[in-house]
Amino acid sequence: MEPIKKSVADLTEHFNLRMVEFQKDLKSAIPATSPNSNINHQFNTFRSFVLTAPENFQLQVELLSRQKDNMEMRHRKKILLVHGVKENKKENTSACAVKVLSDYLKIPGILSESISRSHRLAQAGTDRPLLSL
């Protein structure tokens, strides 16, 4: 999200610089009493629109970032991370999780079917915790 925020800030700065340059050129080219002074009003309207667009975009990015964080946090609340379970080749991780829960934590009635997903975290060869959802 940080690169998007930086892009929006850079875009806003670029718009501001270009608008200031254009406004200077516009003021020097058109006298204030000229019938073309309507162009100045139209420019100011366009300028305010262009400058508020990146702000709205920034607000949307922040909202999406918060929603993504909330979704990740809700997902993390539903996991069980078990450390210290020996890893065997071709193991059934759901069965390992059920065994730990029933034998060591004395939780009765746990079935491997009640675990939607189960796998090891990290790379093989390390002490990898068991993740169960």
Give the mean pLDDT of the chain: 80
pLDDT over 90 percentage in the chain: 2
Give the contacts of 68 (CB within 8 A, at least 6 positions apart). Answer: none
Is the domain of 11 the same as that of 63?
yes
Q: Is the pLDDT of residue 12 over 70?
A: yes
pLDDT category at 39 given cuts 50, 70, 90 is confident
Domain boundary among 71, 94, 109: 71
* The pLDDT of residue 82: 83
Predicted local distance difference test score (pLDDT) of residue 31: 62
Statement: the pTM of the whole predicted model exceeds 0.85: no
Confidence band (pLDDT; 50, 70, 90) for 119? confident
99 pLDDT tier (thresholds 50, 70, 90): confident
Q: Within 13 Å of residue 92, how many CA atoms lie on the same side as its CB?
A: 9
| Residues 67, 85 within the same domain | no
Q: Which amino acid is at 25?
A: D
My answer on whether 17 and 67 are in the same domain is yes
Contact 119, 93 (CB under 8 A): yes
Do 13 and 67 belong together in one domain? yes
Residue 32 reports pLDDT greater than 60:
no
**What's the structural domain count of the chain?**
2
Mean pLDDT of 18-44: 71
Q: Give how far Cα 53 sits from Cα of 8, 42, 86, Å.
A: 10, 17, 55
In angstroms, the CA 54 to CA 11 distance is 7
pLDDT of the residue at 37: 64
Which of 52, 71, 90 marks a domain boundary? 71
The rounded distance, in Å, linking the Cα atoms of 109 and 107 is 7
Q: Scan for tokens 């309207």, then name that residue.
A: 45
Q: Are residues 7 and 48 both part of a single domain? A: yes
61/115 same-domain check? no
Helix intervals (H) in the chain: 2-29, 37-76, 93-103
First to last CA, the chain: 28
Mean pLDDT of 73-84: 80
Domain holding 21, by residue range, is: 2-71
Dihedral through CA 121, CA 123, CA 127, CA 129, nearest 10? 0
